[in-house]
Amino acid sequence: MITPVIMAGGSGSRLWPLSRSLYPKQFLSLTSEYSMLQETIKRLDGVNTNKPLVICNEEHRFVVAEQLRLLNQAVSILLEPVGRNTAPAVAIAAEAAKGEDDPLLLVLAADHVIQDAGVFRESLNKAIPLAQEGKLVTFGIVPNQAHTGYGYIQRGEAIAGSNGFVVEKFVEKPDAETATGYVNSGEFYWNSGMFLFKASRYLQELESFRPDIASACSLAMEKTSLDLDFIRVDKAAFTKCPDESIDYAVMEHTKDAVVVPLDAGWNDIGAWSALWEVNTKDENGNTSLGDNILQSTKNCLVHGGERLIATVGLENTVIVDTKDALLVADKAHVQEVKAIVEKLKAEGRSEYENHREVYRPWGKYDSIGMGARDQVKRITVKPGGKLSIQKHHHRAEHWIVVSGTASVLRGEETHLITENESIYIPLGTIHALENPGKIPLEMIEVQTGSYLGEDDIVRYEDKYGRV
């Protein structure tokens, strides 16, 4: 049986301003109505698998849980206390998944695009017998250009009776001339970072080549704890684990590495130019998403938000509009977007971390206006959602229900507030908000006070386990 292991970490900083540190690209809907994480799960439709195991960090756990709930997908969510690269992440997944049946682990990134899921499943089926024999299979992407942004895998001799090849060697990202030679030879594939192997075989090879990583991960998994739907590993043990990729730790050293070719329209969407490549285009080569009017415009990506975007006389340009930031970039320089993100982070600006619209386990809020001593938010609480029991030292709040029903704890009293009704929460008053209904609760919140930061919250009780 196959256990999918979905790696849902990473920041996707080159896709700013859509991708933010607290809502990175794997949670965005970039090529369909589904997020990249959801597409990764849906890609396995028709494959006989165990419950998927999703690995993410602490800050993204509720986003992961909500997106998978929307798919009605049962999963196990394994929380990394700190990022330690792919070799340790796969190791704790293998420790969590191993058992009497010793499943095959299908390691997938949550932020890849595969345009032909049927071809992907065909390659997977070809890889299964190899993995069952104890091979460590990697999927090599058949290159369609001499790309310098990917690592490469050189194939060796063909494995009789299969579609696989012995891995001759892994090579780093090449220069343009070397990449051209690789592609022209027909012997090289792009390194996709997708794998299939037995849980036990991976742990055996990790123990052989990196016993320090294997030991740290084994100790971390000896002291797991359950938190709602999440599996927490021991932070002290995992923090001591070295930071290393699965390629460096295992795949470059094992004698059992094999590569299965994959030609299914793969892309890791590493920059805005890649999104332009995989999306549909008009007769002028433009990809237009949103309410846009493009005049004398060619080979551009225009990703709109809530307002009209009009362009005139542009070529090879990327425009991405969000509620709080606008990116305009030459398509040839989109890799430099990462430098913008680093500047935002260094300056402590909120645009690095969050969108104006912020997701919480109970729903979301959108900060639609802010003054020196006031802030207005649009709040959505999903059915059954409840904000923590809390108080504020520096602000009062006035809540107006737009639609749905709110159950409001104010002090020692509970009030039921319905459409077009409102309630005032004085500064320093203990309060809570809950949606007891069957439809989303939509509210307007008006905050007034001397300090309106999100850290002015004293929590007394929280159903989601937040501190």
Looking up residue 198, the CATH number of its domain turns out to be 3.90.550.10
Name the DSSP letter for residue 336.
Answer: G
For the stretch 44-62, pLDDT in tens is 999 999 999 999 998 899 9
Residues 295 and 147 in one domain: no
Residue-level pLDDT at 305 = 84
Segment 123-150 shows an average pLDDT of 95
Whether 351 maps to a domain, the answer reads: no
CATH, residue 418: 2.60.120.10
Residue-level pLDDT at 226 = 84
For the stretch 228-266, pLDDT in tens is 779 999 999 999 999 999 999 999 999 999 999 999 999
| Residue appearing with tokens 């004085």 | 426
Q: How many CB atoms lie within 10 A of CB 296?
A: 10
CA distance 323 to 317: 20
CA distance 61 to 412: 32
Residues 326 and 295 in one domain: yes
Residues 293 and 249 in one domain: no
Whether 314 maps to a domain, the answer reads: yes
Residue-level pLDDT at 12 = 85
Beta bridge partners of 131: none
Whether 134 maps to a domain, the answer reads: yes
Instruction: Reply yes or no on whether the pLDDT at 368 is more than 70.
Output: yes
Instruction: Reply yes or no on whether the pLDDT at 377 is more than 90.
Output: yes
Whether 467 maps to a domain, the answer reads: no
Residues 363 and 295 in one domain: no
CA distance 323 to 356: 6
Whether 344 maps to a domain, the answer reads: no
Residues 248 and 301 in one domain: no
Residues 442 and 315 in one domain: no
Residue 10: band (very low, low, confident or very high) from pLDDT cuts 50, 70, 90? confident
CA distance 368 to 357: 9
- What angle do helix axes 199-209 and 211-222 make, rounded to 10 degrees? 130
Q: Which of 235, 267, 299 is the last residue of a domain?
A: 267
3-state DSSP assignment of residue 410? strand
CA distance 424 to 197: 58
For the stretch 351-360, pLDDT in tens is 999 999 998 9
Residue 37 to residues 56, 70, 114, 457, Cα–Cα distance (Å): 11, 12, 12, 31
Question: Number of structural domains, the chain?
Answer: 3
Residues 212 and 361 in one domain: no
Residues 262 and 373 in one domain: no
Beta bridge partners of 365: 358, 379
Residues 278 and 400 in one domain: no
Instruction: Residue 49: give the domain boundaries.
Output: 2-267
Nearest C-alpha neighbor of 206 from the set 128, 98, 83, 54? 98
Residue 98: band (very low, low, confident or very high) from pLDDT cuts 50, 70, 90? confident
Residue-level pLDDT at 100 = 67
CA distance 38 to 67: 7
Residues 114 and 193 in one domain: yes
Residue-level pLDDT at 228 = 75
Residue-level pLDDT at 101 = 84
Nearest C-alpha neighbor of 156 from the set 144, 146, 169, 143? 169
Segment 399-418 shows an average pLDDT of 97
Burial 320-355 (b: 16+ CB within 10 A, else e): bbbeebebebebeebeebbebbeebeeeeeebbebb
Residues 110 and 38 in one domain: yes
94-103, 203-212, 278-287, 381-390: least confident range: 94-103
Query: pLDDT averaged over the chain?
Result: 94
Residue 11: band (very low, low, confident or very high) from pLDDT cuts 50, 70, 90? confident
Residue-level pLDDT at 466 = 78
Q: What are phi and psi of 361, to 5 degrees?
A: -60, -25
Residues 252 and 365 in one domain: no
